[in-house]
Amino acid sequence: MTHTALRTIVVTGGAGFIGSALVRRLVLEPEYRVVVVDSLTYAGNLESLEPAMAYPNFVFEHINITDASSIRRCFDRYSPDVIYHLAAESHVDRSIDSPAAFIQTNVVGTYTLLEAALAEWKQRSAQQRSACRFIHVSTDEVFGSLGPEGSFTEATAYDPRSPYSATKAASDHLVRAWNHTFDLPAIVTNCSNNFGPYQFPEKLIPLVVHSAINGKPIPVYGNGLNVRDWLYVDDHVDALCRVADVGRVGHTYAIGGSNERTNIDVVRGICRILDDVCPNQSYQYEQLISFVPDRPGHDLRYAIDASRARTELGWRPAHTFEDALRETVLWYLRHELWSARVMSGEYRGERLGLGGNV
């Protein structure tokens, strides 16, 4: 095992949406060596990492996190100080259609990483161990569904409702068990709905933009009144960097944008932006909205109380929802070829998650 003067940071799922945003930030620090571990499934895209690839401290390893021997070789080679674990199957609709993949990646994959991280950590001296962190990036969906009032906190009981959230809940529990039982210096974060550039177009905001500019129906589940707390991805990255620097081992941090919006309000907001920046002469974009059968077991509302993150991490979002949404829409308009390329494989914008029922 060889140690270098650089602080080595491994980012699993680093070619995905949040992971690539984190990597693009980390490579700006010359004292970091940033190792991306990604199996490049449909949602992982090397184009999202192109801005980072120009930096000499960037490394890419094409590895599936369920491959224990490859993960161990990777950790032996690079000896990571910090592991950001973001690799996950993350789309609720897909978990309804194919839950087995979520169990493998989110549960078995997390176990595999924990075992490799623990083996690596045990090889270190006490002084070297003090700099190690295993940061597990999870979701607020593990807490279930809120009523019209209240917010999730770090003390909220788990109540997952979908195969996706159930597997993420299981992975959270594994990380806490490895911290409590084996003293692995782990931290769990639970974030609200992220949005921003480079998000795979199966998610709401990029799907709405893609559908609208192509003159296709804009699908809205049910009555569109489900509420989410929206978090701009760069603000989330800021929080994750703070977690590595000042977060307390064994703690959980709920990270949210304090931007509660109904789905229909988000969709209409996107339509208004599009009407402003690229008006269609034949219709307003809201006319494309089409209400479709709701997702099975669709949670009504999520909201996060991020008080601990503000107090212990000194973090708060830097972007307003309105400004970040506009910048996000403009990014997708400027990168239509990116969307077209990432959707050229198995996914073409079709409806997912009906579980065999219509």
Residue closest to 232 by CA, chosen among 154, 315, 334, 338: 315
Which is catalytic among the residues 78, 111, 164, 285?
A: 164
Gap between the Cα atoms of 123 and 139, Å rounded: 31
Q: Would you list the DSSP string of 18-36?
A: HHHHHHHHHTT-TTEEEEE
For the record, the structure tokens of 42 come out as 């449909």
CA distances from 61 to 12, 65, 330 (A): 10, 11, 32
Active site residue 140: yes
Q: State the virtual CA torsion across 321, 239, 184, 44 in degrees, nearest 10.
A: 60
Kindly name the residue from 38, 61, 93, 141 that is annotated as catalytic: 141
> CB within 8 A of 319, min separation 6: which ones?
232, 234, 235
Kind plus residue range of the DSSP H or E element containing 52: helix 50-53
Active site residue 302: no
Question: Under DSSP, is residue 314 helix (H, G, I), strand (E, B) or coil?
Answer: coil
* C-alpha dist (Å) from residue 40 to 45, 52, 65, 71: 6, 16, 11, 15
- Identified catalytic residue from 140, 172, 229, 234: 140
For residue 52 the two structure tokens come to 């980072």
Rounded to 5 degrees, φ, ψ at 117 are -65, -40
141 catalytic per annotation: yes
Q: Active-site positions? A: 140-141, 164
